[in-house]
Amino acid sequence: MTRDEAVLKLLHLGPMRHHEMLCVTGWPTDETREVLRGLRHAGKVVLHTAIGERWYELVPESRPVVEKPYINPHSALTAAWA
């Protein structure tokens, strides 16, 4: 099972705060952030923020999803310097 699939299965249970995701998965912060960022850009997960809190949930299937390409800012910067 990929990390993407694992996160999607967790979020099928309900919304999760960012620190809960870190505790449940045990993954390093950077890797967890990248998985969640990729799922957000794929239109599968939505991020909610409030004062001092971030939580994630699945995008409702009834809501139209616009696919956006994920562009890694580091690769764009690297390409500009090449």
Stretch 46-72: mean pLDDT:
73
Does pTM surpass 0.75?
A: no
Q: Which residues pair with 49 in a beta bridge?
A: 54
Q: Quote the domain boundaries for residue 22.
A: 3-81
Q: How many domains does the chain have?
A: 1
Model pLDDT for residues 2-22, shown as the tens digit of each residue: 999 999 999 999 899 999 999
Q: Which domain CATH number covers 36?
A: 1.10.10.10
Strands (E), the chain: 16-17, 45-50, 53-58
Confidence of residue 62 (pLDDT cuts 50, 70, 90): very low
Residue 69, pLDDT above cutoff 70? no
